[in-house]
């Protein structure tokens, strides 16, 4: 399937030094071999005219080994998730779980519920179609076989604001920018809450292509004009969702006998999709709902019939951070707001998380965060603040599991290496560097932990903005590799080593190709 880059024209305005080839660090006090090498790396032509911040610290003492524009406010992209994940662990706790409940109102007469059946969510991003089947089976096991009222979907745990501040409108159709709801269903165990997989399969030459949705739902209208082309022709399938709609359009051509094409789209109304999946699950389990589907809060007097708990937050951190899941970040932000301030909003959540960041070495007043994921171009943070967080986190009881949940460079296991699994393969940074990636058009970053050649534990944060090159990840990898080969007091200047992508581990799935290529989720 043709992958379409999504470009954003907005350019951030931040106070930072222009990067010129060979420019010396203005605020790097020492003249060490490490400092000279890092200055040279940041003089790479791919960063010409851009802005950069890099801070390197000793992970145990917090002492600064290198700083270049460490206080400059820059767009963090998905490195923003470091703040969100750490603060969420402080607010919610590692054992926090999301609950989904089914309740009834009215009265029971035998197997008949004379009232409405309520499905209430609190933000669980891990719900799959099979989990709704399990909930429906519990309803059937309770003895309810007929519901004379409506199936009511309750997503009021969060507010009704679905998209974050300054999220790009042309990213709206895609899974990495899905609407945030307290009641969703995910298509697979990546747990992309509120998204739908669109599978396009060829038919007979000249005839329409077949379109299949996962999860199967009637809450989405599909307009399919795609046709099957001759075998051997190039696929040219385009999947889209017009702005503000619940319609998915499929157009173009797909060759006969060729592989199916898959696109990963955001649902226009994730609550409605979840309700439709549950209604079908009820029918599959012999429970008939006579009424329609409606949307409102569950009454206090409703009687609970079935429930489900998610995996704990400590485990959710793995798909969240390894795969840089934007929706997890936003759900955790609103969940924090609901717990602390009784409001599932971005404003309440960011205040709740910000209060905890002060205990993690960060001053929330010295930066601007308007969402949890880093999708917004209004987010502004500094490399210095990110490294302060990384140092402080080492002293928290949840640190080890959080550290292991970060992507690990050069490890080909998807849920170990994550967004770094194809980077720095076969180098001293492989299975050493634990770091969060960040990528948008004109924005990139890498922040995390690395053990130097002398055994010294280091933290670092590198943020690059406003560059014109398609990617500056080679610079990031070169910086990480230089830190991995740092030798303390015995350190000497080193030739620039070339990080590499292992051919056998070349990008082969949508998260590597999309998130780490053109979109905002890396």
> Where in the sequence numbering do the catalytic residues fall?
78, 81, 324
Where helices occur in 24-69 by DSSP H, the ranges are: 33-42
Give residue for tokens 């060829």.
Answer: 202
Where helices occur in 342-472 by DSSP H, the ranges are: 346-357, 383-393, 399-405, 414-417
Reported as type and span, the H/E element at residue 461 is strand 457-465
Contact between 353 and 391 under an 8 Å Cβ cutoff? The reply is no
Which are the contacts of 495, defined by CB distance < 8 A and separation ≥ 6? none
Diameter of the chain by CA atoms? Answer: 83
Q: Within a 13 Å sphere around the CA of 392, how many CA atoms are in the beta-carbon half?
A: 19
d(CA 408, CA 419): 8
- The 3-state DSSP class for residue 138 equals helix
Contact between 462 and 447 under an 8 Å Cβ cutoff? The reply is yes
Q: Within a 13 Å sphere around the CA of 402, how many CA atoms are in the beta-carbon half?
A: 25
Burial class of residue 401, CB neighbours in 10 A (0-12, 13-18, 19+): middle
Which are the contacts of 21, defined by CB distance < 8 A and separation ≥ 6? 43, 44, 45, 48
| DSSP 8-state code for residue 209 | P
Q: Which of 286, 72, 295, 263 is nearest to 174 (CA)?
A: 263
Q: Which residues pair with 154 in a beta bridge?
A: 120
Give Cα 485 to chain centroid, integer Å. 31
Burial class of residue 46, CB neighbours in 10 A (0-12, 13-18, 19+): middle
């Amino acid at each position: 399937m043709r992958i379409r880059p999504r470009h954003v024209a907005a350019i951030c305005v931040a106070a930072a030094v222009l990067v010129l080839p060979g420019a010396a660090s203005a605020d790097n006090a020492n003249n060490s071999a490490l400092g000279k090498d890092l200055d040279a790396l940041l003089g790479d032509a791919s960063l010409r005219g851009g802005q950069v911040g890099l801070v390197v610290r000793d992970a145990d003492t917090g002492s600064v080994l290198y700083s270049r524009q460490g206080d400059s406010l820059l767009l963090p992209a998905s490195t923003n998730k470091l703040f969100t994940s750490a603060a969420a662990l402080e607010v919610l706790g590692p054992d926090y779980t999301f609950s989904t409940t089914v309740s009834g109102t009215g009265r029971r007469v035998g197997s008949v519920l004379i009232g409405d059946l309520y499905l209430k969510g609190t933000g669980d991003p891990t719900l799959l179609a099979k989990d709704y089947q399990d909930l429906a089976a519990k309803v059937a096991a309770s003895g309810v076989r007929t519901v004379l009222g409506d199936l009511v979907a309750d997503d009021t745990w969060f507010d009704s604001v679905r998209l974050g501040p300054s999220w790009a409108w042309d990213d709206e159709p895609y899974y990495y920018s899905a609407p945030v709801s307290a009641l969703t269903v995910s298509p697979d165990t990546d747990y992309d809450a509120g998204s739908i997989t669109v599978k396009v399969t060829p038919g007979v030459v000249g005839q329409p292509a077949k379109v299949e949705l996962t999860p199967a739902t009637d809450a989405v209208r599909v307009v399919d004009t795609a046709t099957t082309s001759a075998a051997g022709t190039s696929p040219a399938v385009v999947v889209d969702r017009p702005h503000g709609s619940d319609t998915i359009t499929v157009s173009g051509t797909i060759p006969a006998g060729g592989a199916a094409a898959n696109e990963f789209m955001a649902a226009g109304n994730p609550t409605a999709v979840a309700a439709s999946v549950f209604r079908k699950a009820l029918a599959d389990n012999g429970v008939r709902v006579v009424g329609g589907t409606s949307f409102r809060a569950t009454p206090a007097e409703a009687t609970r019939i079935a429930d489900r708990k998610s995996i704990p937050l400590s485990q959710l951190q793995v798909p969240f951070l390894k795969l840089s899941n934007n929706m997890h970040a936003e759900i955790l932000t609103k969940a924090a707001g609901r717990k602390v301030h009784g409001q599932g909003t971005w404003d309440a959540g960011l205040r709740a998380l910000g209060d905890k960041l002060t205990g993690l070495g960060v001053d929330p007043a010295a930066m601007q965060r308007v969402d949890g994921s880093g999708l917004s171009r209004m987010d502004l943070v500094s490399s210095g603040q990110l490294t302060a967080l990384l140092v402080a986190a080492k002293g928290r009881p949840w640190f080890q599991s959080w550290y292991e949940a970060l992507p690990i460079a050069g490890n080909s296991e998807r849920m170990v290496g994550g967004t770094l699994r194809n980077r720095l393969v076969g180098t001293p940074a492989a299975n050493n560097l634990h770091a969060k990636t960040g990528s948008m058009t004109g924005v990139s970053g890498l922040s995390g932990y690395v053990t130097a050649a002398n055994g010294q534990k280091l933290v670092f944060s590198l943020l690059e903005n406003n560059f014109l090159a398609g990617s500056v990840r080679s610079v990031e990898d070169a910086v990480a590799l230089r830190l991995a080969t740092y030798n303390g007091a015995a350190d000497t200047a080193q030739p620039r080593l070339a990080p590499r992508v292992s051919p056998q581990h070349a990008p082969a799935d949508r998260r590597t190709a999309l998130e780490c290529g053109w979109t905002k989720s890396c």
